[in-house]
Amino acid sequence: MARRIGLLGGTFNPVHIGHLRAALEVAEYMGLDELRLIPSARPPHRETPQASAEQRLAMVELAVAGESLLKVDDRELQRDKPSFTYDTLESVRGELAADDQLFLLLGWDAFCGLPSWHRWQELLEHCHILVLQRPDTGNEPPEALRDLLAARSENDPLSLLGPGGQISFIWQTPLAVSATQVRQLLAQGRSVRYLVPDAVLAYIHAHGLYRE
């Protein structure tokens, strides 16, 4: 039977409940077999004074421990430079059966920026795209995406067929949490309890992360 696998990339600097709830809700709604969080590499000079790639990965692993739907995929950190999403998709696809379904999750903002991505018009050769759309955003997509949307969008995300090739929107009210906010609170010596899982909080404190 074909598997259904979701991918959510991000810097996860650090991972927070906004990422985790979005991932879990999409995984349940879509009936995925698993949803993989894929921490991205960043240019080395951007790492300080923040968390290293190893620390960001460790926090994502702690966050999903015990949640069977959520997994961590560290392939982008195994390379010595930031990866293109196209290359990551090709690499993941190479490990799956031909009829397995792959769903790339993108926030609305990321989706609107798609035309600047490496080989963006070929992404759909490897996956479906699920755009996480907030109920309160009424924005029009950029001109460059109109033709793609006209040709490839499918209203009901549960009707996406085959291994890839279509775009659908998932309407979801996100939790108002960002990694920027978490870092800022920590830099000010304030608590981020309940914004990140307890295990991530303990890791942040044990390693003295995000302090000014």
Q: Applying CB under 6 A, does 55 fall inside the site for ligand ATP? A: no
Minimal distance, residue 122 CB to ligand ATP, in Å: 20
Q: Which of 24, 69, 96, 110 binds ligand ATP (CB under 6 A)?
A: 110
Q: In which element (H, E) is residue 22 found?
A: helix 17-30
Question: Nearest-CA neighbor of 160 among 1, 28, 31, 23?
Answer: 31
126/183 with CB nearer ligand ATP = 183
Q: Applying CB under 6 A, does 6 fall inside the site for ligand ATP? A: no
Residue count, binding to ligand ATP (CB under 6 A): 17
Q: Which of 50, 93, 107, 112 binds ligand ATP (CB under 6 A)?
A: 107
Minimal distance, residue 151 CB to ligand ATP, in Å: 24
The amino acid that residue 200 corresponds to is: V
Question: Nearest-CA neighbor of 128 among 107, 97, 154?
Answer: 154
Q: Which of 104, 127, 179, 196 binds ligand ATP (CB under 6 A)?
A: 179
CA distance 6 to 105: 7
Give the neighbor-by-neighbor strand order of the sheet with 34-39.
70-72, 34-39, 4-10, 101-107, 128-133, 167-171
CA distance 32 to 103: 9
Q: Applying CB under 6 A, does 18 fall inside the site for ligand ATP? A: yes
Minimal distance, residue 178 CB to ligand ATP, in Å: 4
Residues at the interface with ligand ATP (CB under 6 A): 8, 10-13, 18-19, 22, 106-107, 110, 174-175, 177-180
